[in-house]
Every structure is written in C-alpha cells, then in structure tokens.
Amino acid sequence: MKKLVLLSLLALPTGLLAEGAPPRQTSGDTVVQPNWKQRLTIKVGPGEDADIRGSTDRTLQAGVDYVVRFGGGTVQILPGTYRLRNAVFLASHVRLVGAGEKTVIIKDPSATTTLAADSDWFDQEITLANDKEFRIGDGVCLRTKDPKTGVQQVIKRTLVARTGNRFKLDKALRENVWRLNNGTVSTLFPLLSGEFIEDVVIEDLVLDGNREHNDELDGNYAGCIFLQDCKDITIRRIHAKNNHGDGISWQICHDVTVEKCISEGHSGLGLHPGSGSQRPVMRDNVLRDNNIGLFFCWGVKNGVAERNQIEGNKVGVSIGHHDTDNIVRRNTITNSREAGVLFRPERGADFAGHRNRIEANTLTNNGPETGAAIDIQGGTEGIRIIGNTIEDKRGTAKRVAVRQGAETKDIEVKGNTIRGFATELEKKSPANPPSTP
C-alpha cells in the first residue's frame, strides 16, 4: 500500500503539497495520509494476554471483524494452535500476523455425507443423510453434477441453523442439489479466505491442511490460503503445508506478492496464480513436494517468479493457457519427476502461453529417463531460454535438456550451460509433414 501511495504522490502536480508540510487525514482521502506510528491492533489467542481469548476459527474471525468495524487494522494471532471448522474470512485493509512457527492454524478432519432430500436452486437449506459430525458454524462444500452437462458444481456455504438433520445455509444455493446427481456435503474449506477485498497483508503463520484426514478440494475453490477477485495482497513468511489441494491459490487477483513462504506437501499446487491474475510477484519461496510447484493458470500475465527454490515436485513450473509475458528467473528447480519447466500444449497456438522468459535459472535432475528438463509443447511461441544452467547428474539416459514440440515457433535458446544430457536441444518433427511438390 505504501508503494501505491508513493507512486500517487509522485504523480501529483508540483506545489500540491507544500515542502515539509505533514499530510493531514482528510475524509475520503486514501492517497495522501499521515504515517501513523500506532494503529489499531487486536490480540487474539488462548492466553491471558489476548484481547479475545480462544483457539478456534470463531476467535480469529472475531478479531478480523473487530478491526473491520473501524476501517481496518492488525489482528495479532498469539502463539498457540488454532483448530478450524470454518474458514477465516478476511476483509479489506486488514493485516493478519502471527508469531511464525509458534502460531499454527490447522484444519479439523473433514466429514462427508450424502443428501437425505433434494434442494432446489432457490432453497437455503439442505437435509443430510448422516448429520452426526456436522455442527452449526461449519464451513461446508456441496458438490453435485449439472443434470444436462454432467459438469461438477461446487458450492461453498456455512451452516447457520438446524432442526435435526435439516440445516439452514448462510446463503441460498443458486444451483440444484439433487440426490439423483450424486450430491454430497463435506466439511471442506480454505483456512484463510478472501473475496472481493484489497490491501491485505498475511504474515508469519503456519497453515496446516491436515491432508491425511481431509478429502480433496482443488485450488479453484480452496487452499491453505484462497483468494478470489482481490487486489493488492501481500503474503509473507507463511508456512503452508499438507493440504489435500493447493497451498496458496488466488483467482482473478491482481498485484499479489508472495515472498519468503514455504509451500510443501500438497496434493495440488504449491503456488497457484489463478485465472486472469495480473502482475503476480513470487520471490524467495520454497515450493517442495507438491504435484506442481508453481502453476500459471489461465491468462496470467506480466508475472515475475524469481529466486524460488522449487524441488521434488511432479512438475516444477507449469505455464499454459494464455499465460503471456511472464518472467521466470534465478530460480533453482531440482528433482522434478516429469519436467522442470513445462509449457502445456493447450488447444493449439491460439491458447498457448507465448512470450515468456526462462532466464538465469539452475535446473538439476529434472524429468524421467526419456524426459526433458524444459519441455515446450503444443503451438507455444516466442519463448526465450537464456543464460540458464541445465544439468543432470544421474547419467545421460535418453534425457533432453530442452525439447520443442513440432508446432512450436520462435524459440530462442541462447547462452545456457548444459551438462549431462544425451541431447541438448531436440525439435520434434510434425506428425504429418507437408508432402514435397
């Protein structure tokens, strides 16, 4: 936020601020403000020094809601272990800060049941076949299939009232949830969640998804942190681990910075800059033992991934559908089981990820025996692979340093140090080459 204020000040006409005159807080002015030495802070935690005492999602939510009531502030989460049965819903102008490894937020085990009765799209209640492990206040995920297309529909809600096995939801369904479509209800949710918010900082927390005791919910809906339609977000020194889904996921979010975080042991993606996200910055992170370390989703543009340690993932970095003009530089990518860097084939050149730079990275021991450290597939164009160290210390086998698909174009491979491969650069031939006239 300070960076945005500074840029705004630089753009102001000369003379608008008298030299040396301290700014005053003026109603409605969010650009020019005093640098207040103390700001509203609420302490939450299990001990006597907390302003709000407890160790559940309700405790954390009460802290967030308190500072939001006054326009924003800091929620200081004191050392302790906090067990969640619902997400902590963030809001604009909030700073959520813990005590590093001493502040642990963990998801309770999930429960799943089928429906005992149908609910239509206009209903605001559901009836559970087995309600034993469900409580008022639980965050739930309803999953069903569209009766016409067969596409899975996912609905996230909170249980707010009950009579027996009938539960009222916080919001109406807006989708049909029918037994004939194999509808289920599970206590699944992100640990920290934000939608349509801005100017948020999340720092110094351990977020444990408790993967062994939870069903999967993918990163389009959840994660240790999940954000949707947000902007100006900073995530710093977070240890996100063991989620049955993604570590940190943000969808259609702009100017998100993730730095000095660890995201490891997830069944999904370590970092997931999601569809339509503009200008993400991901630096100095450790992305370890995930399905994919860093996944550029659809239409991610003008992002920077630098100085990250990406190790032991199925794929280190994955780039694809309309992901253009991104820079991946000075990262260390090691021991990826399928590829260190993968450019996905997508649906042809019109959908591929063009004009991306892979620069000054160190890639070591990536890919299977017949794989490639950098694999450029489909109709991908305009890729620059410059100044990298690409090496394999496991014996040459049939590995390739850089593999280009038959339909790729304008791929520049220059100034790289390549060691230990059977083939340094491979260009596949078209499956149906044009006939000679």
Q: In what order do the strands lie in the sheet with 166-169?
A: 112-114, 184-186, 139-145, 152-163, 166-169, 125-127
- State yes or no: pLDDT of 287 exceeds 70: yes
Could you tell me the two tokens for 103?
């502040």
Mean pLDDT of 150-172: 94
- Provide the percentage of residues in the chain whose pLDDT is more than 70: 94
Answer with the residue of higher pLDDT: 176 or 331: 331
H/E element, 67: helix 57-68
Q: What is the mean pLDDT of residues 356-365?
A: 98
Handedness of CA 329, 229, 58, 78 (dihedral sign): positive
More confident residue, 231 or 431: 231
* Average model confidence (pLDDT) across the chain: 92
What pLDDT does 166 receive? 97
Q: What is the pLDDT of residue 436?
A: 44
* For residue 16, pLDDT beyond 80: no
Asked whether residue 199 carries a pLDDT value surpassing 70, the answer given is yes
Q: Which residue has the higher pLDDT, 10 or 419?
A: 419
Q: What is the mean pLDDT of residues 375-387?
A: 97
148: CB partners within 8 A, 6+ apart? none
Beta bridge partners of 84: 107
Flag whether pLDDT at 291 surpasses 70. yes
* Candidate from 143-147, 204-208, 325-329, 421-425 with smallest mean pLDDT: 143-147
Q: What are the pLDDT digits (tens) for 64-120?
A: 999 999 999 999 999 999 999 999 999 999 999 999 999 999 999 999 999 999 998
CB 9 within 8 A of CB 43: no
The predicted pLDDT at position 28 comes to: 82
145-156 tens-digit pLDDT: 877 777 889 999
Q: How far apart are CA 329 and CA 196, in angstroms?
A: 30
**Is the distance from CB of 328 to CB of 361 less than 8 angstroms?**
yes
Dist CA 225 CA 222 (whole Å): 7
Please say if the pLDDT value at position 304 is more than 80.
yes
Q: pLDDT-based confidence at 431, cuts 50/70/90?
A: low
- Whether the pLDDT of residue 15 is over 60: the answer is no
- pTM given for the model: 0.92
* Mean pLDDT of all residues in 418-437: 76
Q: What is the pLDDT of residues 402-418, one digit of tens each?
A: 999 999 999 999 999 99
- Report d(CA 5, CA 14) in Å as an integer: 16
Round to whole Å and give the CA distance between 236 and 82.
Answer: 19
Q: What angle do CA 152, 275, 278 make, to 5 degrees?
A: 165
pLDDT at 29 over 90: no
Distance CA 98, CA 239 (A): 11
